[in-house]
Amino acid sequence: MRKILGALAAVVLFACGSPSGTSTEPGAAQPSEGLKLAVEPGTAQGTFVTEASQGSTEVKFSSREVEPGVYRLEVRFNGLTLTSLVDAENGVSTMDGFAEANGQDTQMMDPDRAVVAALYAALNAELPSGDAATPEAKYLRRAVGLWAEHPGTVQMQRTVMGEQGRGYTMLCSYAKCNGAWTGSCGGSYNWYSYAKHDCQHGGFDYTGNQQIAQLGNHATCSGDEYYLSGGVWYCGEPDHWSRPKVQGICFGRCGGGCGGDTQYTLDATNHDGCVRNGHALASAYCDDQFTSASDDELFAPNCY
Partner 1 sequence: MGLARACGVLLALAALACSSLETRKKEEAQATVRAFFTALPTGDCKVLGPMLATGGSARPCEDTVRELHEHGMELVEVLDAVVDGRDPNAVLVRAKLARDGAVRAEPFVLRVERQDGEWKLRL
d(CA 49, CA 70): 28
Q: Judged by CB under 8 A, which of 70, 72, 98, 191 binds partner 1?
A: 98
User: Binding of partner 1 at residue 18 (CB under 8 A)?
Assistant: yes
User: Binding of partner 1 at residue 292 (CB under 8 A)?
Assistant: no
User: Binding of partner 1 at residue 188 (CB under 8 A)?
Assistant: no
d(CA 160, CA 137): 19
Q: Judged by CB under 8 A, which of 154, 161, 212, 228 binds partner 1?
A: 154
User: Binding of partner 1 at residue 221 (CB under 8 A)?
Assistant: no
Tell me how many residues contact partner 1 (CB under 8 A). 36
**x/- track of binding to partner 1 for residues 70-89 (CB under 8 A):** --------xxx---------
- Give me the least distance between CB of 139 and partner 1, in Å please: 24
Asked if 33 contacts 52 with a C-beta cutoff of 8 angstroms, the reply is: yes
User: Binding of partner 1 at residue 41 (CB under 8 A)?
Assistant: no
Strand order in the sheet with 158-161: 34-40, 43-49, 58-67, 70-77, 80-87, 92-99, 158-161
User: Binding of partner 1 at residue 6 (CB under 8 A)?
Assistant: no
Kindly tell me the sign of the dihedral angle through the C-alpha atoms of 150, 298, 279, 249: positive
Asked if 169 contacts 254 with a C-beta cutoff of 8 angstroms, the reply is: no
Site stretch for partner 1 (CB under 8 A), options 58-66, 141-149, 215-223, 286-294: 286-294
Pairing of strands 245-247, 43-49: unpaired
User: Binding of partner 1 at residue 277 (CB under 8 A)?
Assistant: no
User: Binding of partner 1 at residue 99 (CB under 8 A)?
Assistant: yes
Q: Which amino acid is at 192?
A: Y
User: Diameter of the chain by CA atoms?
Assistant: 85
User: Binding of partner 1 at residue 11 (CB under 8 A)?
Assistant: yes
Q: Judged by CB under 8 A, which of 26, 27, 41, 103 binds partner 1?
A: 103
**x/- track of binding to partner 1 for residues 105-134 (CB under 8 A):** xxx--x------------------------
Residues that bind partner 1 (CB under 8 A): 4, 7-8, 11-12, 15-19, 21, 78-80, 98-99, 101-107, 110, 152-155, 199-201, 284-285, 287-288, 291
